[in-house]
Structure 1
């Protein structure tokens, strides 16, 4: 069994309040929350459960029930970790960045390796 070594890559430097810019240079929004990977997250676990012993119970807090995001997508984000971005614009809502979609973190900016329309919503 592999021991979980904690967060790797640029996600470890992301903090709430940072600006998020996509690969095309367009502002996506502002970091609202950062959740690191959960080595105990298991496929098929109900992310809506509020049981404290559930290793991905905190995911339920991060996603609204009416977001339209599939359970599979929520479970994937629980396993990988994610950055929740408060989207730019009045009606844009939240989007979610996977650690592998972060190209760099410098100053107060998170630069993505993908366009904003490729993010989970």
Structure 2
């Protein structure tokens, strides 16, 4: 078994405030949260935070407001990491980008390898 070594790939260079652009070059929105992978994350029903306001609560709060994500998708994003995008225009609301969907990070821009309509919401 290999030991989890932390974030790899372009997600480690993403910060809040960056512009997110989809595979066709269209602006999706702005990064408003970065959550790095947590291979040992507590998931599923019946899990509760160790303390009020603890890490499990923070993660639950990140998905709660306006999210259409089912529990399985939330668990997956918690384990692999994600960036939450405050989308605008036709794609308004939050969109969630998995690390594998990030093609590159250059300057203050995150370039995706997928179309905006393929992102989780």
Same fold (TM over 0.5): yes
1:62 paired residue number: 62
2:93 paired residue number: 93
Identify unmatched segments of 5+ residues in structure 1. Answer: none
Report the CA distance shift for 1:10/1:52 in structure 2 as closer, same or farther (over 3 A): farther
Structure 1 stretches of at least 4 aligned residues deviating more than 3 Å after TM superposition? 49-57
- Which one is further off, 81-90 or 11-20? 81-90
Higher helix share: 2
Matched, 1:105 2:108: no
Contact 1:20 1:109 in 2 (8 A): yes
Contact 1:56 1:78 in 2 (8 A): no
Tell me how far apart the structure 1 counterparts of residues 105 and 92 of structure 2 sit (CA, whole Å). Answer: 23
> What TM-score, normalized to structure 1?
0.87
| Cα shift at 1:50 | 3.9
Residue 33 of structure 1 aligns to a residue in which SS? strand
> What TM-score, normalized to structure 2?
0.87
Cα root mean square deviation, aligned? 2.3
Identify unmatched segments of 5+ residues in structure 2. Answer: none
